[in-house]
Amino acid sequence: MKGSVTEKSRNDRYLESQAARESNARSYPRRIPIAIQEAEGVYVKDMDGRTYYDCLAGAGTLALGHNHPVVLEAVREMLDQKRPMHTLDLTTPVKEAFVDELFASLPEEFAKDARIQFCGPTGGDAVEAAIKLVKTATGRRSILSFQGGYHGSTHAAMSLSGTLGQKGNVQGLIPDVHFLPYPYSYRCPFGVGGEETHRISSRYVEQLLRDPESGIVPPCGMIFEAVQGEGGSIPAPVEWIREMRRITQERDIPLLIDEVQTGFGRTGKMFAFEHAGIIPDVLILSKAIGGSLPLSVVVYRSKFDVWKPAAHIGTFRGNQLAMAAGLATLRYIKANDLPGHAERVGARLRERLEELQSRVVQIGDVRGRGLMLGVEIVDAGKEADRLGHSPANPQLASRIQRECLRRGLILEVGGRHSAVMRFLPPLIVTETDIDEIARIFGEAVHAACAAE
């Protein structure tokens, strides 16, 4: 961390102004109280001149980090050539090239029979579109979702999410959403843990759908994240993903996989579902797809393309600048094998975190895939559950986050009880960066634990 705090902090002035004028719903500034002046690669600099490693990266949006040269070049080219910035859903050469590159990034079996819907600029709108799509195609209404999942903050997306905090004061959420147990082995919903967690989960789901008195009418679809993000960086075992695909396929239930946060190399594969070798019916994409600019799409099998013209619209589905930036980003990701890089440096970071875990009893679990890792913080002084796991410790997690920030590392906290430290660095992060990030995190953990 470089620079020093001035007598009257510029950060504080910006934060005070923000607090006075922005909605009470603002979230990140409460936990990461800085104002950003400039950013490049894996670094951001605040208004007081302090530099930080950014392991939040726009909640996974910045696959290539801040202001990557290929993104800047794509944006400048659009401006210099007077390309249209916005076209609704009218096509352009940039849009056609973007679709070509995206389809070339998909498994061939999926791409050769795919359709794409451009949505509004957020992942939540893509989730809304996906649900409308499968309801229209199947004529059914029930939706199967999973505990701990997060699919967005719009009305339907929030209805599909396990997060209770957002739902408490909102009435009239969409009906017929049925939440199933996700295979979270560390805090197993069945109280067994280990490999049995995903096996029991699979059997439970299959039996539920067999039961003529389950109370659930035939569903229009099943939706889940192959790695839960906001739920605490929880990877679903590949065997469980395969079972969900088998179960839904045998019952003609569309399988929707939300890859808003996991897509485009984050987990060590181009898409997280590829770890299991399956093909979904509907793929929901946003964040990294726009090369740091707002964009979201739904890609799906052509047999579901039965909705009418204008069944899902949105003014900013024609964001040409995001398509240009996204096209450049996709090409760079593939040309430089960033999924493979994410797997390698992610394994290095996980190794460092597990070594820290062996010395710190307050680290209950280290998990994730690629560069989507989570460290669950626990209260080792309190009584453990039947699996031997101590209760979550959100207060300590918050202190660790503050200690990280003091030392020049931006991390987000998520998961159950807000007790999981989440690592989402840009995919261009180097081994040297990884070692320094792990070192800073270790210092912050020791400092926060010493203050208990």
Question: DSSP of 285-300, one letter per residue?
Answer: E-GGGGTTS---EEEE
How many structural domains is the chain composed of?
2
Cβ 247 vs Cβ 203: under 8 Å: no
pLDDT, averaged in runs of 10, over the chain (452 residues)? 59 94 94 96 97 97 98 97 95 98 98 97 96 98 97 93 86 93 96 95 98 96 98 97 98 98 98 98 98 97 97 94 98 98 98 98 98 97 90 98 98 95 98 98 98 82
Instruction: Identify the domain boundary among 317, 335, 353.
Output: 335
Residue 2 lies inside a defined structural domain of this protein: no
pLDDT the model gives residue 4: 47
For residues 279 and 303, membership in a common domain is answered with: yes
For residues 369 and 324, membership in a common domain is answered with: no
Residue 86 lies inside a defined structural domain of this protein: yes
Total residue length of the chain: 452
Residue 312 DSSP SS3: coil
Query: Residue 347 forms beta bridges with which residues?
Result: none
For residues 256 and 181, membership in a common domain is answered with: yes
Q: How far apart are CA 61 and CA 226, in angstroms?
A: 17
CATH at 153: 3.40.640.10
For residues 266 and 144, membership in a common domain is answered with: yes
Residue 378 lies inside a defined structural domain of this protein: yes
For residues 440 and 415, membership in a common domain is answered with: yes
Report which of 227, 247, 238 is spatially closest to residue 276, judged by C-alpha positions. Answer: 238
DSSP state of 132: H
CATH at 402: 3.90.1150.10
Residue 282 lies inside a defined structural domain of this protein: yes
For residues 74 and 53, membership in a common domain is answered with: no
pLDDT the model gives residue 7: 62
For residues 385 and 409, membership in a common domain is answered with: yes
pLDDT the model gives residue 137: 98
For residues 129 and 268, membership in a common domain is answered with: yes
For residues 117 and 235, membership in a common domain is answered with: yes
Q: Domain range spanning residue 125?
A: 70-335
For residues 286 and 423, membership in a common domain is answered with: no
For residues 253 and 380, membership in a common domain is answered with: no
pLDDT the model gives residue 185: 95
pLDDT the model gives residue 85: 94
